Structure 1
């Protein structure tokens, strides 16, 4: 089959890394620490993929802006306490290595901070496979197209030859805004119905299905 995409860009949390539940719990625990209304699982998961400041504005609307630093510090403490227990989804290392071996350009566009992504790339051993990455503290947060636009510009790839893979509507809306095709995965943060409303090329439901789709169709 002819190659369809030259560049494949992945979200990190909830797409390659099994961390969506841990992020939601860290947001909820931080709210308890600060005696704030605790968002539901759905509310906490909905903001995954956004930059941390923007995520807090949506998930914790009662939080005063002056208290953001304290909330962010609480969040980081709770998340990092569990970070060592989190893992890549099954089959992800093999998938990424195979795509790289086939000559695909690979990128990451994530709501994580630069320090957080760099730490994750080292811990998982995947860093050498990615040609370029963008984080929410380096440019506009999703669904703004800046991350994808910068990645495509850096790697010299047109939108028609680029695919965004993500587990949130933020990922798919960013892809639309950048004129890029999107592949949705429903095993991360956002529910299948919400993802399918964004009209991705496909919506896959397990890490194995994601790997199969990419290796056969991308």
Structure 2
């Protein structure tokens, strides 16, 4: 069985970082800083798509500048501040338990770039937990199904053996587009009611609920 996880808002709490550096990048381009609520709505998309939506512009030069400025500010903030990318409560215990299941394969499907994913997995000593890492470096942005289709191809998992776990509407739409089961989490960045409306097959309030829900959906 293949269990795919979103990262920001599902496994790690990076909301304050993302909001802070998005605002800094926009102000640096003499644009109004997006509000935290506006930023939360685009978390989960690949960075260029997210910034294009926030800016309300398709000016490639502007989007590219904002993307690079955001990355620069984000990287700089992590020097001596790695505690700002902490795991949500219960995430480590749940991941350890799922990894110990012989029939389970774990993966990541995220809007974060591969370098950032690799850094965070190393930070939390989770590199060995995940067999497949799907990012915008080699896939279209969510909710296009490419990330899940590639993950299933890499691991040999069928759609009936795959579940997507995430905190945003984009995660649920991604799973539905790929034809797999979806589990929404209530501790992330989108309103849980929106995940239900998007078609989540199940919702969980705590990581301790995850394994039983996966088993129920996959039976």
TM-score (norm 2): 0.90
Distance in 2 (CA, whole Å) between partners of 1:147 and 1:114 is 13
Provide the residue aligned with 2:176 in structure 1: 176
Q: CA deviation at 1:189?
A: 1.5
Calculate the aligned-residue CA RMSD, in Å.
Answer: 1.4
Provide the residue aligned with 1:216 in structure 2: 212
Provide the residue aligned with 1:146 in structure 2: 146
Q: CA deviation at 1:212?
A: 2.1
Provide the residue aligned with 1:112 in structure 2: 112
Provide the residue aligned with 2:98 in structure 1: 99
Q: Does 1:28 align with 2:23?
A: yes
Q: Does 1:122 align with 2:122?
A: yes
Structure 1 consecutive aligned stretches of length 4 or more whose deviation exceeds 3 Å: none
Distance in 2 (CA, whole Å) between partners of 1:199 and 1:64 is 33
Q: CA deviation at 1:63?
A: 6.7
Preserved CA contact (<8 Å) 1:107 1:151: yes
Distance in 2 (CA, whole Å) between partners of 1:82 and 1:13 is 17
How many residue pairs get aligned? The number is 209
Provide the residue aligned with 2:11 in structure 1: 16
Q: Which runs of 5+ in 2 are unaligned?
A: 215-219
Preserved CA contact (<8 Å) 1:111 1:135: yes
SS in 2 for 1:8: strand
Provide the residue aligned with 2:217 in structure 1: none
Provide the residue aligned with 1:69 in structure 2: 64
Q: Which runs of 5+ in 1 are unaligned?
A: 1-5
Preserved CA contact (<8 Å) 1:167 1:188: yes
Preserved CA contact (<8 Å) 2:85 2:120: no
Alignment of 1:134-213 (within 5 A): 134-205=134-205, 209=206, 211-213=207-209
Q: Does 1:54 align with 2:49?
A: yes
Provide the residue aligned with 1:3 in structure 2: none
TM-score (norm 1): 0.90
